[in-house]
Amino acid sequence: MAPDLSPDDREALEHLLRDWLRHCGRRQSDLRRALRVPSSRMPVILDALDAVHQREGLRGLASTLCRIEGEWKEQTPADDAPEGLSEANVDAQLDLLLQEIRQSGGR
């Protein structure tokens, strides 16, 4: 069993998670769902990952994050987008909005 993460380790993990989420195009709520925790607040997420670290050590923590990223990569964009908001649909909506603005003379 590994010891608790130190405050410095928790801060470093938080920065890592924020960068990782940004890189993956994900939000804390996505990570909350993947970890099956009750809140998307960062302290709750860090507590869950600290518990993994205590049980399985650093290797288990890394394995958990790799598993989550793998699950995210397997999902199609349609799995992630809210209903009716596919990328093509969003682009079409933006095109219509731009066309409407041009027709109204930008007013």
Assign 26 to helix, strand or coil.
coil
Structure tokens at 73: 């990569």
CA 99 – CA 107 distance, rounded (Å): 13
pLDDT of residue 41 exceeding 90, the answer is yes
- Predicted local distance difference test score (pLDDT) of residue 55: 95
59-72 pLDDT, tens per residue?
A: 999 999 999 999 99
Which pLDDT does position 8 carry in this prediction?
93
Which one is predicted more confidently, 93 or 12? 12
Q: 32 is written with which tokens? A: 């909350």
* pTM across the whole model: 0.69
Q: Is the pLDDT of residue 44 over 80?
A: yes
Tell me the pLDDT tens digit for each residue of 18-29: 999 999 999 999
The predicted structure's pLDDT at residue 53: 94
Q: What percent of the chain has pLDDT over 90?
A: 62
